[in-house]
């Protein structure tokens, strides 16, 4: 299945998209126009990160309905595409957390010792990045996705994963090692 489409980089993916969405007035109508505008970003974010259409649709629904719920309880001043993508990120991390808990019942927790990280100089192939991420454990997938795919600072990754900064750095080191092992094992020449 081809779900991976890498586009050229641009400095801030969603800046500018929000120009026309302003708070105030008819909050319901505002939210619906935001829905129309933001849906491809929320769905695009989720599909590219989870790689499964049905799951991306479920998480998109969860995101939008949680957002509606939130607009009724809080001031709608922060309503924006970026805000929705933030909710989507939470939903995605929650999904991986549940997945990690399920997998923990089936097998032991992945490697507890931290390997010495060796320098790794490689040009990574985008399709193989996807496949590798889908094979490593959900907590590693979550950490690497937030840190590298979403390009969040370590402190924000830590906040999403409910861990301390130090624990997050350790987790990221393990995740990089696991990713590298899995990437090399599933190399391009097989």
Partner 1 sequence: MTDPFEALREPITPIDPDPAFASQLRDRVESALRTKGDLPTTEPLSSAASPEVMRIGLALGLVVSDKVRGLEWYERALGARRLYEPIDLGGYVPAWVELGGAVLYLTDQSEQPQATQGKTKLPFRPPRPGDNVPSFLILRVGDVDAAAQRAVSEGATLLRGPEDAPPGRSAVIRDPFGHVWDLTEALAHQTVLDRSTRPRSEWDSLGDGVDTKPES
Positions that interact with partner 1 (CB under 8 A): 5-7, 9-10, 13-14, 27-28, 31-32, 35-36, 39-41, 43-45, 47-48, 53, 56-57, 60-61, 64-65, 68-69, 71-73, 85, 119-124, 126, 129, 144, 147-151, 176, 179
Shortest Å, Cβ 128 to partner 1: 10
Q: Are 142 and 108 in contact (CB under 8 A)?
A: no
Nearer CB in complex with partner 1: 25/119: 119
Shortest Å, Cβ 104 to partner 1: 20
Nearer CB in complex with partner 1: 12/108: 12
Nearer CB in complex with partner 1: 14/100: 14
Shortest Å, Cβ 5 to partner 1: 6
With a CB cutoff of 8 Å and minimum separation 6, the contacts of 160 are: 89, 90, 93, 142, 146, 152
Residue 40: count of CB within 10 angstroms of its CB: 12
Nearer CB in complex with partner 1: 18/108: 18
Shortest Å, Cβ 100 to partner 1: 20
Shortest Å, Cβ 77 to partner 1: 17
Nearer CB in complex with partner 1: 107/155: 155
């Amino acid at each position: 299945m081809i779900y991976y489409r890498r586009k050229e980089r641009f400095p801030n993916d969603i800046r500018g998209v929000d120009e026309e969405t302003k708070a105030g007035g008819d909050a319901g109508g505002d939210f619906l126009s935001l829905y129309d505008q933001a849906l491809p970003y929320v769905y695009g974010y989720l599909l590219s990160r989870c790689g499964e259409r049905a799951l991306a649709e479920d998480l998109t629904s969860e995101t939008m309905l949680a957002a509606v719920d939130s607009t009724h309880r809080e001031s709608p001043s922060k309503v924006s595409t970026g805000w929705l993508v933030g909710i989507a990120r939470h939903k995605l991390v929650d999904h991986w957390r549940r997945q990690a808990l399920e997998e923990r019942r089936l097998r032991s927790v992945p490697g507890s010792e931290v390997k010495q990280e060796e320098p790794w100089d490689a040009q990574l192939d985008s399709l193989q990045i996807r496949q590798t991420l889908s094979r490593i454990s959900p907590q590693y997938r979550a950490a690497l996705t937030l840190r590298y795919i979403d390009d969040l600072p370590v402190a924000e990754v830590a906040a999403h994963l409910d861990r301390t900064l130090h624990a997050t750095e350790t987790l990221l080191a393990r995740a990089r090692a696991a990713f590298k092992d899995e990437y090399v094992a599933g190399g391009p020449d097989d």
